Amino acid sequence: MPLTLINMSNTTQPLLNVKNLKAQLELDEGTLKAVDGMSFSLDRGKSLALVGESGCGKSMTVESIMRITPKFAKITGQILFYPKVGNPLDLAKLNPRGAELRAIRGGDIGMIFQEPMTAFSPLHTIGNQIIEGVRIHKTRDKQEARRIAIDILTKVGISNPEQRVDEYPHQLSGGMRQRAMIAMALACEPSLLIADEPTTALDVTVQAQVLKLMRDLQHEFGMAILYITHDLGVVAKMVDEVAVMYLGKIVEYTDVDSLFYNPRHPYTQALLKSIPKVGKKQRGRRLASIEGSVPTPINRPKGCAFFARCPQALEGICNKEDPPLVELSEGHKVSCFLYPEVAEAVKVGTSHPSERHHVN
């Protein structure tokens, strides 16, 4: 199995560049802006996490990248993907059912889903479902595809893979199933792995094993990983950069150290306060929680989406205008009017392009 050695070099190479991505669903009640102008990029071999509460549009973002959103979702913006061979492609412009996109899905981009219970068809063997992808992207030969499937099952730490390959999902434990899921995503050696809450449905002990496995495999295969999670523990252990999402938008975008030691957005600060800290004296103190719940992204009024829940909200400013995402320091972007740079950007009109231009 040829190893991709790209991440050994020091120069960073772009792999994915998302610009002003929007995903809108037309419902009877109005337009639901599930993803509302997301921009981020990911280099080869690196990892990025999209963090946020459920319903913030994390999953929709990655489904938009894969173009596997529901039929009635409208995707706009740019999703530049740089495949192993050939020119970069704008995934947003491709036909979601077309051959070009199908070649990338499962081939260059692999995906892990959060529910290993339901992500496998119960009527087909694990092997059948891994081999299916291998035969689409790597080899037409049945025997070879089967060998690759067994190899990859061995790599993800499934014992007795020759036997497991012919078993049905219901015969495997939850942790085993998630490993099989990872094996399925990695079988075609993708350069980008999208992991949608890969450990949420697992026991805590199994979670740690799976995370370690993914980190090891990332080193071995040299692939980039895009994590979707609400678990800041995963973020701390696994990624280089973090994008904090709120209601379809990125509110803070930074490297993992700044996130934990220097969070700037009130929402990020609140998120961090809501996790228990080991070692600190906590006795007698309640964990902080964020007041209220995420509002509906349907027909949302103008202004900062976090306004209603924000402890530091400025009446007359935060609910008048959408705060743009502005770089405060090297690689650290925030969208919050508490920072004069952001307010300045609105006045001058030099805000982040994604917030201004509506490419429809």
Residues forming contacts to another protein in the complex (CB under 8 A) are 25, 27, 29, 32, 34, 54-55, 57, 59-60, 63, 66, 68, 70, 97, 101-107, 110-111, 113, 115, 118-124, 129, 132-133, 136-137, 168, 170-171, 184, 294-298
Q: How far is the CB of 260 from another protein (least distance, A)?
A: 27
Nearer to another protein, 113 or 221 (CB): 113
Nearer to another protein, 132 or 327 (CB): 132
Nearer to another protein, 188 or 210 (CB): 188
Nearer to another protein, 267 or 337 (CB): 267
| CB-CB neighbours of 137 under 10 Å | 20
CB 1 within 8 A of CB 155: no
The secondary structure of residue 257, as a DSSP letter, is H
96 is written with which tokens? 């979601």
Q: How far is the CB of 122 from another protein (least distance, A)?
A: 6
Q: How far apart are CA 174 and CA 169, in angstroms?
A: 9
Nearer to another protein, 104 or 152 (CB): 104
Nearer to another protein, 33 or 264 (CB): 33
Q: How far is the CB of 26 from another protein (least distance, A)?
A: 12
Q: How far is the CB of 95 from another protein (least distance, A)?
A: 11
Q: How far is the CB of 57 from another protein (least distance, A)?
A: 6
Distances in Å between the alpha carbon of 220 and those of 19, 188, 213, 248?
30, 14, 10, 33
- Is the Cα dihedral 306, 347, 21, 12 positive or negative? negative
Nearer to another protein, 53 or 321 (CB): 53
Q: How far is the CB of 125 from another protein (least distance, A)?
A: 8
Q: How far is the CB of 347 from another protein (least distance, A)?
A: 33
Amino acid at 123: L
Q: What are 118-126's contacts with CB under 8 Å, separation 24+? A: 119/181, 120/169, 120/177, 120/180, 120/181, 121/169, 122/168, 122/169, 122/170, 123/168, 124/168, 125/165, 125/166, 125/167, 125/168, 126/153, 126/164, 126/165, 126/166, 126/167, 126/168, 126/169, 126/172, 126/180
Show the CA angle centred on residue 116, arms to residues 232 and 119, nearest 5°: 120
